[in-house]
Structure 1
């Protein structure tokens, strides 16, 4: 199997190096194609710095990833997944792996995540995906957090590859705890929004003040946000955009 590995933190993030290494150790043929700069919060945006119709791609040598081919791409993660699914970076992949993101991607706020957006873009081409995110500050010096993320990513990848092939994203969030304090992996439903809320403050003639903070309300029991805080790694299956089941359109007839 061929895996396309990407992220939204950029090609120099230790998280994407970790995920590429885990995929290679699992026996996958890996191409790491990640943005050349941070694209956090880019959702599934299709943005790039083009010269004519040419996408900027530069081969890189990365420490700790072995012989994995690594490319720095001047594009958002979703556009990388879109182009990669069409063979832009080598053979068409069998799976899209995205992360490991610095910071959780929980709740319905996954809509805004570039990490999840890349994996969801792969599903539009019939490819399964795995998106992995690490809660907390994810400081590169916090070795315990990355060790836990590596253990969870390894287990989640095995589970993902064992699923029936098809367009589904396995969204995984890892708690910021040492491996010995990890309680395990649990399925979880999406929280009503996510771990971070945005408040609009003072407004002026040429500015609006925004504050990002944790939700003042406790997370709903059984949701990904709640289980993550309890020391569980959470697993939530996501489907690509689709029509609302059973939808009707009152008032449109003859409009």
Structure 2
């Protein structure tokens, strides 16, 4: 099984090594491809630094990465890295993607903004299941706890098989292994670990303040359980259409309107023709007066 490892904290982050060690111990073929710099908050952005249309790489690898593991520093957002990996940018297409271990929790609906989770969701849209791992500290002291939880989460993901929409989002408290209460399923909190408020608005500026979230508010949520010594697991899915009986807005246009549009260029094609509207073939129309 081939595993791609990425993150949003950059190629030098120790969290990459934790994921690589877990995948290697499971007998997987591992490749690391991570942003050349910090990309936190990138969500599923597909931004990149290109040179003459080429995705730029840097010669870098995480300190402590086992010898023999191929590593790429990429001048791109993590979601773009997993996107192009699906097409062979870093060798064979991966079977699974591991993203993290992120420096800081990714809990609640604020995971929408996470580059770590964004990379995993981007992978899932390409039919590759993914695991997003985060530890609840900007300067973790207990990597052994993250490694233990990652081992269990990774084993679960492998057992599930190739479900193209599956993303497992896991958060780990930064505490010693002996203090960890375990790993539990959890729902997303209504917001993330930090809440923002507008403090002041001027003509050409807005000032925001940030505050911690009271985990007491939502028992059973990922943030609530994480604050009480539990590692949490939440299943996410890549974007998909919502089936159901809800009536959606619709209307009918002109019957002779163009029926084909090139969505890449915006070129409008004529009805019943495959040429741009400026090149419509003339139709022969009989003159009634001729009879």
Structure 2-normalised TM-score? 0.82
How many residue pairs match? The answer is: 251
The question of 1:195 aligning with 2:193 is answered yes
- Residue 197 of structure 1 aligns to a residue whose secondary structure is strand
Who is 1:113 aligned against?
A: 114
Of 152, 155, 158, the residue aligned with 1:158 is 155
Who is 1:146 aligned against?
A: 143
Hey, which bits of structure 1, 4+ residues long, moved more than 6 A?
none
What is the CA–CA distance in structure 2 between the aligned matches of 1:234 and 1:62, rounded to whole Å?
26
Structure 1 unaligned residues grouped into runs of 5+? none
Who is 2:236 aligned against?
A: 238
Q: Larger relative CO (CA 8 A, sep 6+): 1 or 2?
A: 1
Who is 2:285 aligned against?
A: none
What is the CA–CA distance in structure 2 between the aligned matches of 1:53 and 1:249, rounded to whole Å?
44
Alignment of 1:32-51 (within 5 A): 32-51=32-51
Gap change, CA 1:97 and 1:204, over 3 Å in 2: same
- Residue 171 of structure 2 aligns to a residue whose secondary structure is strand
What is the CA–CA distance in structure 1 between the aligned matches of 2:217 and 2:187, rounded to whole Å?
12
Who is 1:103 aligned against?
A: 104
Instruction: Indicate if the aligned counterparts of 1:191 and 1:219 stay in contact, CA closer than 8 A.
Output: no
The question of 1:86 aligning with 2:73 is answered no
- Once the two structures are overlaid, the 10-residue window that deviates more, 208-217 or 185-194, is 208-217
- Once the two structures are overlaid, the 10-residue window that deviates more, 33-42 or 196-205, is 196-205
Gap change, CA 1:160 and 1:192, over 3 Å in 2: same
What is the CA–CA distance in structure 2 between the aligned matches of 1:250 and 1:125, rounded to whole Å?
28
What is the CA–CA distance in structure 2 between the aligned matches of 1:61 and 1:217, rounded to whole Å?
37
Instruction: Indicate if the aligned counterparts of 2:61 and 2:73 stay in contact, CA closer than 8 A.
Output: no
Per-residue CA deviation, residues 166-198 of structure 1 (Å, 9 max, x unaligned), is 120011000121110011111111111111111
- Residue 18 of structure 2 aligns to a residue whose secondary structure is helix
Per-residue CA deviation, residues 27-84 of structure 1 (Å, 9 max, x unaligned), is 1111100000000010000000111210011233443221211110000000000011
CA RMSD, aligned part only? Answer: 1.6
- Residue 237 of structure 1 aligns to a residue whose secondary structure is strand
Gap change, CA 1:251 and 1:10, over 3 Å in 2: closer
Gap change, CA 1:28 and 1:59, over 3 Å in 2: farther
- Residue 218 of structure 1 aligns to a residue whose secondary structure is helix
Instruction: Indicate if the aligned counterparts of 1:46 and 1:76 stay in contact, CA closer than 8 A.
Output: yes
Name the larger-Rg structure: 2
Who is 2:176 aligned against?
A: 178
Structure 2 unaligned residues grouped into runs of 5+? 254-291
- Residue 59 of structure 2 aligns to a residue whose secondary structure is strand
After TM superposition, give the deviation of residue 251 of structure 1 in Å.
Answer: 4.4
Gap change, CA 1:111 and 1:235, over 3 Å in 2: same
Instruction: Indicate if the aligned counterparts of 2:7 and 2:119 stay in contact, CA closer than 8 A.
Output: yes
- Once the two structures are overlaid, the 10-residue window that deviates more, 46-55 or 245-254, is 245-254
